[in-house]
């Protein structure tokens, strides 16, 4: 399969290693049969996939969101599905979680919905447990935890204060 991607920062080393090609976002949307969303949730990516961008997709294309719910404008997606701009969608995340079972997205035959469990594989859960244990050990040893999301907290409350 030919894989193309868009990222806010181009990654030539990954392109070479995986044999993938970088494209501007609009090109990814117009060329792809499957658009898989994996970007981080930031103020800049909120509703990244909106009505304008959904209209760029092929009528035969599928949208897959395994990132964060607010990256896709749900109202625009419902409109796209209702009016046939795209072939379907697979969503593991939603703007409103949990997604109410009465939500319009639940009524489409061409939509697959999962309750934010895309990471529920044995391998992923095992790795999550390993990271949690490593973080606990690091903190008890006065070391910085892995993947610290808010490093500024260390200036307020040093690691030594935690043990």
Residue 163: its pLDDT value, please?
59
Residue ranges, CATH 3.40.50.720, the chain: 4-113
Three-point CA angle 119, 123, 124, nearest 5°? 30
Which residues are designated catalytic?
68, 97, 116
Q: Is the pLDDT of residue 162 over 60?
A: no
**∠81-106-114 over CA atoms, to 5°?**
105
Q: Name the pTM for this structure.
A: 0.79
If one compares 159 and 143, the residue with the highest pLDDT of the two is 143
Architecture of domain 4-113: 3-Layer(aba) Sandwich (3.40)
Could you tell me which residue, 150 or 28, shows the higher pLDDT? Answer: 28
Stretch 24-48: mean pLDDT:
97
Overall average pLDDT of the 80-104 stretch:
96
């Amino acid at each position: 399969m030919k894989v193309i991607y868009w990222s806010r920062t181009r990654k030539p080393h990954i392109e070479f290693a995986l044999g993938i090609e970088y494209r501007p976002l609009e090109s990814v949307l117009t060329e792809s049969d499957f658009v898989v969303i994996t970007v981080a949730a930031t103020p800049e990516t909120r509703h990244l996939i909106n009505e304008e961008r959904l209209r760029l997709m092929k009528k035969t294309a599928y949208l897959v969101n395994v990132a964060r719910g607010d990256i896709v404008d749900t109202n625009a997606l419902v409109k796209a599905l209702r009016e046939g701009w795209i072939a379907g969608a697979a969503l593991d995340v939603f703007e409103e979680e949990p997604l109410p079972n009465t939500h319009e997205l639940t009524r489409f035959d061409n939509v697959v919905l999962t309750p934010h469990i895309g990471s529920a594989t044995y391998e992923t859960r095992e790795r999550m447990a390993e990271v949690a244990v490593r973080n606990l050990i690091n903190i008890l040893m006065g070391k910085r935890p892995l993947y610290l999301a808010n490093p500024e907290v260390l200036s307020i409350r040093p690691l030594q204060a935690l043990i």
